[in-house]
């Protein structure tokens, strides 16, 4: 059983380390999508209302184990202050004398954000001993841990795993809410059950296909990984994202899907551009003819085509359970956002459960103007929710279980 906040006892004047996932997109010092910050508010309110001293831990980006100002959490602390309507203190270190003084200065019901965990080598180190050492330093800063960074529970990192073993630790309200929805997707999902995959982290996501195939009725493939599928079918893909070393593996997925009777739906057309840019020239070509288009072998596939969007939308909106992770194209460029918009639109029409997972996917639906209420749930975790659906054990959750 997951240990939850209800079991944490009296919190007045306690120093509560709150692990959040505030890995949000930034444009300079402006948070461009604050969904993950808003998702943490219920837990923060609960803690401050109980008179706890809230010390927030998070990572942002991949700063490589040392300070790098472009990944500072300062803009996040500012945004959090605005959302909470109360001042939020910020320490320019995660651990060390300045961080400790900031903690000492905290009063009951106040909030402090410590600088990016990943400015410290120990946080994401491959060496267990380094992670344990960093977790011990973090443990000094608080009396207990509330773990609420759902987006990182699949990572065995110091603040997610070793710290939770070192001090009393409990799951926060966001993790509880996320698990409630994901349980509905894994325990007898109402069928047809459709999973839509896209995005850019091709090798991360190709692996999940193998474990999802036996569980789903339909699997729709868009985004960067679609080109490895096209290559597996013998097509040339120009300069599109491609993982040549995965082509054989992908062939075996295609075979497995047909053995299992799973509908594996691949794009029939693609939007191909002459360069990776917002104002690139572009055209729609058949998925099998990418290099036969205007840009020849220089063409880059940046979105699924309109016919594919129609097919995907039909497949999605006629399903009873849908999980979607990963944009269908480079939605950050208006011209290449149509596939992602079509899929999002179709999810809003599902009569049943529709779940969007992943930082960029969540940001995409918001930036395309969809209301959060149009979906059953927008998960704050991409990788974490996929691994949960695959049935993997997630270290950051295991460690919160009795
Ligand atoms: P999430 O955060 O939702 O899990 P990912 O991080 O895997 O999603 O992928 C998001 C990124 O995928 C977006 O920045 C988008 O531009 C990129 N992407 C989608 N399709 C393509 C493509 N065809 N080529 C290159 N990048 C793509
Ligand atoms: Mg992402």
Note the pLDDT tens digit of each residue in 284-306: 999 999 999 999 999 999 999 99
In what helix (H) or strand (E) does residue 84 lie, and over which residues does it extend? Answer: helix 74-84
383 among known catalytic residues: yes
Convert the pLDDT of each residue in 374-388 to its tens digit. Answer: 999 999 998 999 999
Q: Using a 6 Å cutoff on CB, does residue 172 contact ligand 1? A: no
Q: Using a 6 Å cutoff on CB, does residue 268 contact ligand 1? A: no
Q: Return the pLDDT at 359.
A: 87
Q: In the structure, what pLDDT confidence band is assigned to residue 205 with cuts at 50, 70 and 90? A: confident
Residue 329's nearest CA partner among 266, 263, 270 is 270
Average pLDDT of the residues of the chain: 96
**What is the Cα–Cα distance from 293 to 297, expressed in whole angstroms?**
9
- Is pLDDT at 163 greater than 90 in this prediction? yes
Neighbouring residues of the ion ligand 2, judged by CB less than 5 Å:
359-360
Convert the pLDDT of each residue in 246-294 to its tens digit. Answer: 999 999 999 999 999 999 999 999 999 999 999 999 999 999 999 999 9
294 among known catalytic residues: no
* Residue tagged active-site, from 222, 299, 359, 396: 359
Q: In the structure, what pLDDT confidence band is assigned to residue 194 with cuts at 50, 70 and 90? A: very high
Q: Return the pLDDT at 204.
A: 78
- Is pLDDT at 202 greater than 90 in this prediction? no
- What mean pLDDT do residues 234-256 have? 97
Among 33, 209, 223, which residue has the most ligand 1 atoms within 8 Å of its CB, making it the best to mutate? 223
Q: Return the pLDDT at 3.
A: 98
- Is pLDDT at 211 greater than 90 in this prediction? no
- Is pLDDT at 88 greater than 90 in this prediction? yes
Between the alpha carbon of residue 326 and those of residues 22, 32, 79, 340, the distances in Å are 19, 18, 26, 9
CA 67 distance to own-chain centroid:
23
The closest-lying atom of ligand 1 relative to the alpha carbon of residue 363 is 3
Q: In the structure, what pLDDT confidence band is assigned to residue 119 with cuts at 50, 70 and 90? A: very high
Q: Using a 6 Å cutoff on CB, does residue 360 contact ligand 1? A: yes
Q: In the structure, what pLDDT confidence band is assigned to residue 166 with cuts at 50, 70 and 90? A: very high
Task: Find the length of the chain.
Answer: 402
Q: In the structure, what pLDDT confidence band is assigned to residue 331 with cuts at 50, 70 and 90? A: very high
End-to-end CA distance of the chain: 5
357 among known catalytic residues: no
Contact yes or no for 139/132 (Cβ under 8 A):
no
Q: Return the pLDDT at 182.
A: 93
Cα dihedral 364/369/375/380 (nearest 10): 40
Q: Return the pLDDT at 318.
A: 97
- Is pLDDT at 127 greater than 90 in this prediction? yes
pLDDT above 70 coverage of the chain, percent: 100
């Amino acid at each position: 059983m997951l240990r939850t906040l209800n079991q944490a006892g009296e919190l007045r004047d306690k120093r509560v380390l709150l692990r959040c996932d505030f890995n949000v997109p930034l444009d300079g010092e402006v948070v461009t999508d604050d969904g993950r910050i808003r998702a943490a508010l219920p837990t923060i309110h609960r803690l401050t209302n109980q008179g706890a001293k809230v010390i927030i831990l998070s990572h942002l980006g991949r700063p490589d184990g040392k300070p790098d100002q472009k990944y500072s959490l300062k803009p996040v602390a500012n945004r959090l202050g605005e959302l909470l309507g109360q001042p939020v203190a910020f320490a320019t270190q995660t651990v060390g004398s300045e961080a400790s003084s900031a903690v000492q200065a905290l009063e009951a019901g106040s909030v402090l954000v410590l600088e990016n965990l990943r400015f410290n080598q120990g946080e994401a180190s491959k060496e267990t001993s380094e992670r344990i050492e960093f977790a011990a330093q973090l443990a000094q800063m608080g009396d207990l841990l509330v773990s609420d960074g759902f987006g990182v529970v699949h990572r065995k990192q110091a603040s997610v795993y070793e710290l939770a073993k070192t001090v009393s630790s409990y799951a926060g309200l966001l993790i509880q809410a996320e698990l409630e929805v994901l349980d509905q997707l894994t325990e007898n999902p109402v069928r047809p059950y459709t999973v839509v995959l896209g995005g850019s982290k091709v090798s991360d996501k190709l692996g999940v296909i193998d474990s999802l195939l036996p569980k789903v009725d339909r699997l729709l493939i868009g985004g960067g990984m679609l080109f490895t599928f096209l290559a597996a079918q013998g097509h040339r893909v120009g300069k599109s994202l491609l993982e040549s070393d995965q082509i054989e593996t992908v062939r075996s997925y295609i075979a497995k899907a047909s053995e299992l009777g799973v509908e594996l739906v691949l794009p029939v057309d693609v939007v191909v551009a002459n360069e990776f840019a917002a104002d690139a020239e572009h055209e729609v070509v058949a998925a099998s003819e990418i290099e036969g288009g205007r840009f020849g072998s220089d063409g880059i596939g940046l979105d699924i085509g309109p016919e594919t969007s129609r097919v995907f939308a039909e497949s999605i909106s006629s399903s009873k359970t849908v999980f979607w992770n990963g944009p269908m194209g480079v939605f950050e460029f208006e011209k290449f956002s149509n596939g992602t918009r079509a899929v999002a639109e179709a999810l809003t029409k599902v009569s049943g459960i529709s779940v969007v997972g992943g930082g960029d996917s969540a940001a995409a639906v918001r930036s395309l103007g969809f209301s959060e209420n149009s979906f059953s749930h927008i998960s704050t975790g991409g990788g974490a929710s996929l691994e949960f659906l695959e049935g993997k054990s997630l270290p950051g959750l295991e460690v919160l279980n009795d």
